[in-house]
Structure 1
């Protein structure tokens, strides 16, 4: 399965949304150069407060553009970067990937998926009703988080809109994504 990057973004400050840019640079073991979440240890404020020595499993936030399509039908006009993602993709079922999947981004960058983004109250503050819209339930009543996935950078490189995304699945047995 292959897809493509439709938008990239970063922000040096801890704000909810990230501006779209012509390109971003991924740094191995750190994340997105110039982004507030770049670093070896966790940078998300709530996680820093709990334990600032935790490894940063949330170096890169990826979101599927198909979610914007779904949310648009529900009355939410959103564009890439609005939900704080660094990479917006199209053509890949990000939420269905197993933990440890590797994504080749463009010619050089390689990201390993660590888990699901756990949507928080900031989403609701950004747009009332959006938190409920990015959470769902499956047939058994289990919570479905739709606000994207998180990963770590294994190999750095520049990433731009239009770059291809190629998948490398881990060896079975596959583990479903969990919140990180």
Structure 2
């Protein structure tokens, strides 16, 4: 399956989960129009106390559907149904067919395939740039008890060596993204592994 977009979601308020929508509009260097995490500086509530406010490297949150399949293996049918709802973990874009976690800092994801019904500037190819991985937060356990640990990879000494809760990106070029659009991956010259942001 070529890399593609399965779902897009947004929320104007700081709820944990986001709502499924037919399309999202990305705004260059800002984020998703109308989303509570859009802005030049960080908008996540856990970081609003930092002064001066840091640059917003978390404008767009993406999760591969393959990760959701991986972490859901021991969940009940009801828990799986909740987990697979678009935007359940606060992600804006659920992808299929691309291992986002293996990509490096600065990798561009270009969303291709003209969105149906859009013309002019809004039909331009939207581009996001990967900045890091999402650090699983306690809110995941409030969504489903014990789920946070399933998004962590630990070594034999119980030290965290990997995080599976998706990737964070900034918007390099605005545009419209809809489910069904393709994703073209453009890697930087040097590979720098994604760390938590």
Aligned Cα root-mean-square deviation (Å): 1.6
**1:147: how far off?**
0.1
**1:70: how far off?**
1.6
Q: Structure 2 length as normaliser, TM-score? A: 0.86
2:170 counterpart of 1:152: yes
- Once the two structures are overlaid, the 10-residue window that deviates more, 75-84 or 24-33, is 75-84
**1:72: how far off?**
2.6
Match of 2:187 in 1: 169
Q: List gaps (5 residues or longer) in structure 1.
A: none
Q: Structure 1 length as normaliser, TM-score? A: 0.94
**1:90: how far off?**
0.5
Match of 1:116 among 129, 133, 136: 133
Give the secondary structure class of the aligned counterpart of 2:57.
coil
Give the secondary structure class of the aligned counterpart of 1:49.
coil
Match of 2:13 in 1: 13
Matches within 5 A, 1:77-156: 77=80, 78-79=83-84, 80-107=86-113, 108-138=125-155, 142-156=160-174
Runs of 4+ in structure 1 off by over 3 angstroms are 138-142
> Residues 100 and 112 of structure 1 are in contact (CA less than 8 Å); yes or no, is this contact kept in structure 2?
yes
**1:106: how far off?**
2.6
Matches within 5 A, 1:20-59: 20-51=20-51, 53-59=53-59
> Residues 10 and 86 of structure 1 are in contact (CA less than 8 Å); yes or no, is this contact kept in structure 2?
yes
